[in-house]
């Protein structure tokens, strides 16, 4: 998604569909959305040596996390590294990052899919909540063919306690794993420290459109994630309209069961409005 976004926004000139998405999500051209998106996506090195842009994460690294550059990110799939500090109930020790975190960190995965944390002295982190990882691995995915009926089934499928009661737009539900990861990367230092503007009211196509004309149009992580998602599906031949609905269905084949996420992976559930730092 990030690479597709970089190519689309970096084109000279940008095509009509990219301009349309930037107008919807960032009030372009009234705001300089093209520059802000490129700033968050494309790797660049400042005069002081600071590297930004989430495409700087392209190279996979192994070994000790402590030695990584501060602009990098460490992705965790479980929380086994977190230990309570003896005699201090306010903090836990991260044995991988060799740093302390607030004890409330241990509660985030009770109401999140993933969450990101920024650190000044070392690489940032993205925690994939173990229950979400297991859910994704076992989820039966469907095509866009039955999107309407899928919405109706959300309340009783899989992770029903964390499924929203609000009606999200189709673009909010497609390729959820990838969209979540892109969203979390936007929270990192390399992603220019984007926030969840207004908390959960910054999630989803409808809310992002509302934020596009506000003073923090450039600062909402989910706006960038939805842009990446929409451009990704456009690269596969599908487009959305101003209501966040697909004008060309992403998938037209009969239902199949898929594992994982990414290209061709259809739909997944979305969170409650009350959940914290989900995507």
Task: Please tell me the distance from the alpha carbon of residue 279 to that of residue 184, in angstroms, as a whole number.
Answer: 6
Task: Please tell me the distance from the alpha carbon of residue 76 to that of residue 154, in angstroms, as a whole number.
Answer: 27
Task: Please tell me the distance from the alpha carbon of residue 35 to that of residue 13, in angstroms, as a whole number.
Answer: 13
Contact 18, 8 (CB under 8 A): yes
Query: What's this model's pTM, rounded to 2 decimal places?
Result: 0.82
Task: Give, for all 279 residues of the chain, the pLDDT tens digit.
Answer: 999 999 999 999 999 999 999 999 999 999 999 999 999 999 999 888 889 999 999 888 888 898 899 999 999 999 999 999 988 999 999 999 999 999 999 999 887 889 999 998 899 999 999 988 887 776 554 444 433 444 334 433 443 334 444 457 888 878 888 999 999 999 999 999 999 999 988 999 999 999 999 999 999 999 999 999 999 999 999 999 999 999 877 754 333 333 334 433 333 333 333 333 333
- For 122-171, the DSSP string reads S-EEEEEPHHHHHHHHH-----GGGHHHHHHHGGGSSSGGGS-SS---HH
CB atoms within 10 A of CB 255: 12
């Amino acid at each position: 998604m990030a690479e597709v976004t970089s190519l689309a926004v970096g084109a000279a000139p940008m095509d009509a569909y990219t301009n349309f998405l930037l107008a919807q999500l960032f009030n372009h051209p009234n705001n300089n959305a093209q520059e802000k998106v490129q700033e968050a996506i494309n790797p660049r090195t400042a005069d002081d040596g600071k590297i930004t842009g989430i495409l700087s994460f392209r190279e996979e690294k192994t070994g000790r996390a402590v030695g990584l550059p501060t602009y990098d990110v460490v992705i965790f799939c479980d929380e086994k590294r977190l230990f309570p500090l003896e005699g201090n109930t306010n903090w836990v020790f991260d044995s991988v990052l060799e740093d302390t975190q607030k004890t409330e960190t241990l509660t985030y995965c009770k109401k999140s899919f993933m969450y990101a944390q920024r650190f000044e002295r070392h690489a940032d982190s993205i925690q994939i909540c173990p229950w979400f990882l297991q859910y994704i691995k076992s989820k039966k995915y469907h095509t866009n063919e039955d999107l309407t009926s899928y919405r109706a089934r959300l309340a009783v499928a899989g992770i029903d306690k964390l499924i929203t009661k609000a009606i999200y737009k189709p673009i909010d539900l497609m390729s959820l794993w990838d969209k979540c990861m892109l969203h979390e990367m936007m929270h990192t230092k390399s992603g220019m420290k984007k926030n969840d503007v207004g908390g959960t009211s910054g999630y989803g196509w409808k809310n992002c459109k509302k934020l596009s004309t506000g003073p923090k149009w450039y600062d909402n992580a989910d706006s960038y994630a939805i842009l990446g998602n929409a451009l990704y599906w456009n690269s596969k031949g599908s487009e959305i309209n101003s209501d966040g609905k697909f004008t060309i269905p992403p998938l037209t084949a009969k239902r199949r069961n898929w594992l994982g996420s990414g290209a061709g992976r259809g739909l997944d559930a979305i969170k409650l409005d009350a959940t914290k730092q989900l995507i």
